[in-house]
Amino acid sequence: MVPRGRPRDTQVDERVLRIAAALLLERGYTGLSIDEVAEQAGVAKTTLYRRWPAKDHLAVAVVARLQADDEITDTGDIRADLVNYLEKIAAGLNRMRAAGHREGPSAGTVGELVAAAARHEDIGRLTRKQYAERNTLALALIEAARVRGELRADLDAEPLFDQLAGALYYRVMITGAPVDRAYVERLVSSALERNLTCP
Amino acid sequence: MVPRGRPRDTQVDERVLRIAAALLLERGYTGLSIDEVAEQAGVAKTTLYRRWPAKDHLAVAVVARLQADDEITDTGDIRADLVNYLEKIAAGLNRMRAAGHREGPSAGTVGELVAAAARHEDIGRLTRKQYAERNTLALALIEAARVRGELRADLDAEPLFDQLAGALYYRVMITGAPVDRAYVERLVSSALERNLTCP
Amino acid sequence: MVPRGRPRDTQVDERVLRIAAALLLERGYTGLSIDEVAEQAGVAKTTLYRRWPAKDHLAVAVVARLQADDEITDTGDIRADLVNYLEKIAAGLNRMRAAGHREGPSAGTVGELVAAAARHEDIGRLTRKQYAERNTLALALIEAARVRGELRADLDAEPLFDQLAGALYYRVMITGAPVDRAYVERLVSSALERNLTCP
Amino acid sequence: MVPRGRPRDTQVDERVLRIAAALLLERGYTGLSIDEVAEQAGVAKTTLYRRWPAKDHLAVAVVARLQADDEITDTGDIRADLVNYLEKIAAGLNRMRAAGHREGPSAGTVGELVAAAARHEDIGRLTRKQYAERNTLALALIEAARVRGELRADLDAEPLFDQLAGALYYRVMITGAPVDRAYVERLVSSALERNLTCP
DNA sequence: CACTAAACGAGACGGTACGTCTCGTCTTCTG
DNA sequence: CAGAAGACGAGACGTACCGTCTCGTTTAGTG
């Protein structure tokens, strides 16, 4: 398939995403205005809509780039690996938390993205797929630890990871409590140690 | 303090919240229009804004009323009590999930509310306070179980409840996975049983 | 007929009119807000509406009081008498001109009063009656001058006074040109001297 | 200068002004609602506000178009020319008089326009400029008559025209008296003949 | 080099909701 | 009853976005 017509200006993507990121982080989701992005980027609105079909898509793209690659590593020490991985997730969330001037404790932008995923089926599919991949990796990590005997044999991995990741999101979005290294370690401890007393 | 002037019509709150709830659940956050609520409720917009300073505030009030009284009970069986309580939370979330057109897997409305809390400092304070109360109750439940020996003595209650509630929110908002009774039971089991093998 | 119940507080009228005048002159007709007048006067809106059925009526009352009594005097010198009288009218108009911060050249408040008279039949009747009285006096003045031979015998008094008063209003409302003593004298001269060359 | 961007739809101006004129004449100034104009013209409110920054501006534009071209002609007979020209002005005023419900004697709409000119500096400038042009033409007409000896050599043209036009406005806005051909002729006679008896 | 196809800048446009601002009416309690 | 206080209905206003459209202009590749 031969490309016809004038090729897209690749610098546009870069410039737009940079400026959109600045706006999003500085003023929050509402403050991210298509008109303003276009103007600041010296780009026509048409050009934006040629690349991202709606503001929500642009916002998702911006955040996706901010989160980047949360690598997962398996050192054989499940506790350390989980702490390590969860900390990366926490870092991404904390970055969102700063968005929107007031820098209140709650990460409104994360909420907006959830809403965006609900508004647009394609965004929903995309983000769920990405989260599914992340989940798969984490579950594999846990499974490996189970197989090699670090975790108990009849472990239910799915809710375990839900608990870990969920606690982070819960604090960031709902209670507004801090999510730092100390908390992550408490969290992993709480999740891995037995809680019920042995009868 | 003596009340001065014409007292507020208490029926208005009732009527408005009922209609707003219907709109919110049927058409989602965007479909909840102040003008329409006012019209359907036979109320002037001024009257709405006298009670709720912005649409966000109305929406939060609507949802607060839908969640309403998630009573927590202490039967002496911490596992059953937690399952019971989490199911109530899950029910509330699932109700939100249905909100808005496509009945997609993700509860966009919850995300909007998180965003609303971030946009308005007062909403943020209010909701965090409410969640803090809920947390307090749950932590007391857990603490009581610890004291009477159902849970281990050195239990860290805070992350434990974060894990439980967080997992529900995480699935509803992020992964889109179902949150039903079966899952809640798996979740509580996962959180309460020991996961690390004894060395 | 015996008066029953609490008698009206006569101080209210005074206070309200004073404050309304201040607002009207300072901010113009739009800036004259019933709510604000009530608040500043320490008076309930009910009380205002008991006295003046609408904002327009209050405004008219305010202006009527500002104009007060344009006395007309007959010294036997029609030119001087007219100049004298027109100057009083001009003074009233110039007072209105200052109204509304921008102190532009045009007296918007006069226009608003005209509009008010058109909106409310009763205001229209009232003001037209007042203007009719003024007219009657002026016409009598002119007529007397005619009878005693100062003015020509077949003079048409009605358009003559229309011309004089009208020119003032025209400049104040339409062209924005100044209306001072010098102009009034030119005006009277122009109206009284013959303009057509004698054939 | 190259035109950039999508050109304005010229039909919009036409349609909007037509419909706005209909509303203004039928229901008066208050009855001229931006929302309704937009709806009836099949045009977005945004489009209206792009052309006229406020309702006042639209109203002025509507009236300006109604008045349109009051051509002035110089036949060499100053009396006839003045009558002719004043009649055109009177016609415009009488058209305004009909505007708004009660078809009362006073042209409230003219008052509203005066008020509009006072509220917005730009409208004031614009309308004063237009009236200045009209004045210039009329003064030229009078001046020509003076030069050719129809009017006396030391005539003061400015107050003369003020008197003529002013009388019309005065009757329409203030006294509510009729302004028809007969009156215009009396008016011109009154203004042109000598009024003082020769001493 | 002409021609085609698409990207691009600019900005008008339709649509829609928001939140604000008055006005004039009403309802309650107090003197 | 008058008055203070303030809720209420009604309705327009002007604003702020979004996403689409319609131009004219540029930038490639192709015959």
pLDDT tens digits for range A70-129: 788 999 999 999 999 999 999 989 988 876 655 555 588 999 999 999 999 999 999 999
Model confidence at B67, in pLDDT bands (50, 70, 90)?
confident
Model pLDDT for residues B23-42, shown as the tens digit of each residue:
999 999 999 999 999 999 99
Provide the pLDDT for residue C198: 47
Q: What percentage of chain B has pLDDT greater than the value 90?
A: 76
Nucleotides of F strand lying within 7 Å of any protein CB atom: 1-30
State yes or no: pLDDT of A198 exceeds 50: no
Average pLDDT rounded to a whole number, residues A33-40: 97
| pLDDT computed for residue C99 by the predictor | 66
Torsion of CA C40, C45, C49, C53, to 10 degrees: 80
Contact between chain C and chain D (3 or more Cβ pairs less than 8 Å apart): yes
Q: In chain D, what residues touch C117 (CB-CB under 8 Å)?
A: 106, 108, 111
Residue B89 CA to residue A191 CA, distance in Å, equals 21
Per-residue pLDDT, B199: 43
Mean local confidence (pLDDT), B89-101:
83
The answer to whether C151 contacts chain D (CB < 8 Å) is yes
Q: Are A103 and A97 spatial neighbours (Cβ–Cβ below 8 Å)?
A: yes
Position B193 scores a pLDDT of 81
| pLDDT the model gives residue B106 | 59
How long is the CA A58 to C1' E21 vector, in angstroms? 36
Least confident of A50-64, A170-184, D2-16, D92-106: D92-106
Q: Cα–Cα distance between A54 and A36 in angstroms, integer?
A: 14
Q: How far is B16 from chain A (nearest CA, A)?
A: 24
Which helix (H) or strand (E) segment holds residue C149: the answer is none
In chain B, CATH 1.10.10.60 covers 10-64
Average per-residue pLDDT for chain B: 90
Closest partner CB to C166 (pick from D118, D158, D163) = D163
Res C79: pLDDT: 92
Task: Report the pLDDT averaged over residues D143-151.
Answer: 90
Q: Does C196 touch chain D (CB under 8 A)?
A: yes
Run means of pLDDT, 10 residues per run, chain C, 199 residues: 66 92 90 95 95 95 82 90 94 81 67 93 92 92 91 91 97 94 96 65
Which residues of D, range 38-77, sit inside 8 Å of C by Cβ? Answer: none
For domain B10-64, give the CATH superfamily.
Answer: Homeodomain-like (1.10.10.60)
Give me the pLDDT at residue A70, please: 73
Question: What is the per-residue pLDDT for D198?
Answer: 47
Q: What is the pLDDT of residue C107?
A: 77
Contact of B25 with chain A, judged by CB distance below 8 Å, is answered with no
* pLDDT at D101 (0 to 100): 53
Show residues of chain A in contact with B165, CB under 8 Å: 166, 170, 174
Mean pLDDT of chain D: 90
Q: How far lies A155's CA from each of A78, A81, A84, A141, B167, in Å?
A: 14, 17, 21, 13, 17
Q: Do C124 and D106 touch (CB under 8 A)?
A: yes
Residue of chain A whose alpha carbon sits nearest to that of B155: A195
Q: Supply the pLDDT for residue B66.
A: 85
Q: How do residues D66-93 score in pLDDT, each as one tens digit?
A: 876 778 899 999 999 999 999 999 999 9
Token reading at A113 = 């993205």
Distance, in Å, from the CA atom of B165 to the CA atom of D145, rounded to the nearest integer, reads 95
The CATH H-level (homologous superfamily) assignment of domain A69-192 is: Tetracycline Repressor, domain 2 (1.10.357.10)
- In three state form, how does the secondary structure of B120-164 look? CHHHHHHHHHHHHHHHHHHHHHHHHHHHCCCECCCCCHHHHHHHH
Residues of chain B with CATH 1.10.357.10: 69-192
Hey, what's the torsion of the CAs at A135, A137, A138, A141, to 10 degrees? Answer: 150
Q: pLDDT above 70 covers what percent of chain B?
A: 91
pLDDT at B194 over 70: no
Give which of C133, C147, C163, C183 to mutate to test D binding, by max D Cβ within 10 Å: C163
Residue D104 pLDDT more than 90? Answer: no
- DSSP state letters, A177-188: ----HHHHHHHH
- Residues 6 or more apart whose Cβ sits within 8 Å of residue A70: A85, A88, A89, A92, A134
B175, closest residue in chain A (CA to CA)? A128
- The residue that leads in pLDDT, B107 or C175, is C175
* Torsion from C-alpha of C24, C30, C31, C32, nearest 10 degrees: 50
State yes or no: pLDDT of D99 exceeds 80.
no
Q: Which chains have 3 or more CB–CB distances shorter than 8 Å to chain C?
A: D
Confidence of residue D4 (pLDDT cuts 50, 70, 90): confident
**What mean pLDDT comes out for the span A170-193?**
94
Pairs across A and B, CB distance < 8 A: 224
Q: Do B107 and A119 touch (CB under 8 A)?
A: no
Q: Residue D9 has what pLDDT?
A: 95
